[in-house]
Amino acid sequence: MVPEPALPDPPLLQAMRRRWMGLLARADAATIAARLAEAPALPPHIRLRGPETGLVMTRGRQGGDGAPFNLGEMTVTRCSVRLEDGTVGHAYVAGRDARQAELAAVLDAALQDPDRRPALLAAVIEPLAAAEAARTAREAAKAAATRVEFFTMATMR
Amino acid sequence: MTPLDSMPLTPGFADPVADAQSCFRALLEAMARPGRVQRLAALPEAPAPLSPAAAAALLTMADAETPVWTDAGPAAEAWLRFHAGCPLVARPGEAAFLLASGPMPPLAALAAGTEEEPHRSATLVLQVAALEEEEAWRLSGPGIENSHPLRVEGLPDSFLPDWAANATRFPRGVDLVLCAGPRLVALPRTTRIEEAG
């Protein structure tokens, strides 16, 4: 198929999609719903799968490059939905909040539509990103206050 | 964006756990009583050309550890991959489950297990035109007290010789699930078929 010129190229769309899926997965249902109140109404959807809760084995590597090992299982809720135009949206969120998973999946599907994207990005995704950045900065500032400067201590002696 | 957009995905079982269990029970019953027609209560919304019973059987049996072969086209393949999570293979001989909606793949070409591990054989889910418990074939074998009538429409002429050849490999061999609409019949490798006079 010939790609429509209005679409961003796939790697860019992929990066954008990764960002909004991550932000939606880290937000909670109440926050997403509050943001949606200011956004244009979401399109109707049908559920393809879920929302359903299960366990996912998380794996890690020691030092980032060692042999992979199983770290432990974590509770994950997933949901996949389809809009009327056939766009499929997916969500995998930590925990057992089915409403969050479904909202995130519908938003993922709606955000893939270039016509709906700007309004939804502005109303939902950017506020979530700003809130997350503020939270990270606040935590970093709190941690920074208790930081011990080993180098400074050595020179003070 | 992708070719899949023109063939939208449809949902699987409405209640994945309970529906798969009731379908599993029906398959078990069908295998235990060859030739008896089972009607599935819970059916998924399967893309064409999958029949509801064949789609339900595959959703129930196939998972990430069972290679599946199908001739039903990209929409059905995408649907199976999404809902069952099964790997799809190109060669019928490598598959644990096969779903044939068109011409029947030759039974001799499918995995028949080994003498030590006959359960490592393939199960062929075959869509047929009609299934009736009427006197056209007489089935006998384990699970049938005397004989059981069955009429199947839409099988190739070579089916009966192929099926007889499948039986000669016992304990190796292929099991068959015939599906039409919401109904299915199982023919395990031990079932003998005679044409009713």
- Provide the pLDDT for residue A5: 46
Token digits for B17? 């756990």
Q: What backbone phi and psi angles, to 5 degrees, belong to A19? A: -65, -50
**B4, part of any domain:** no
Q: Report which secondary-structure segment, H or E, holds A80.
A: strand A68-83
Contact between chains at A1 and B10 (C-beta distance less than 8 A)? no
Cα–Cα dist B179/B133, whole Å: 13
pLDDT tens per residue across span B53-78: 999 999 999 999 999 999 999 999 99
Please report, in tens digits, the pLDDT of each residue of chain A (157 residues total): 444 444 556 888 889 999 999 999 999 999 999 999 888 889 999 999 989 999 999 998 888 788 899 999 999 999 999 998 889 999 999 999 999 999 999 999 999 999 999 999 999 999 999 999 999 999 999 999 888 877 766 666 5
Contact between chains at A80 and B82 (C-beta distance less than 8 A)? yes
pLDDT tens per residue across span B78-131: 999 999 999 999 999 999 999 999 899 999 999 999 999 999 999 999 999 999
Per DSSP bridges, beta strands B175-180 and B123-127 are parallel
Which residues, in sequence order, are bridge partners of residue B175?
B123
What is the domain count for chain B?
A: 1
- Provide the pLDDT for residue A1: 41
**B71, part of any domain:** yes
Q: Is A36 helix (H, G, I), strand (E, B) or coil?
A: helix
Q: Is B15 helix (H, G, I), strand (E, B) or coil?
A: coil
Please give the residue of chain B at the shortest CA–CA distance from A52. B16
* Nearest CA-CA distance, residue A150 and chain B, Å: 52
Residues of A with CB under 8 A from a CB of B: 1, 3, 7, 10, 46-49, 52, 80, 82, 86-88
Tell me, what CATH number does B101's domain have? 3.40.50.11310
- Provide the pLDDT for residue A38: 85
For the cut 70, the answer to whether the pLDDT of residue B23 exceeds it is yes
Complex ipTM above 0.90? no
> Is B173:B118 a contact under the CB 8 Å cutoff?
yes
The whole domain housing B103 covers 11-195
- Provide the pLDDT for residue B9: 85
pLDDT band per the 50, 70, 90 thresholds, residue B5 = very low
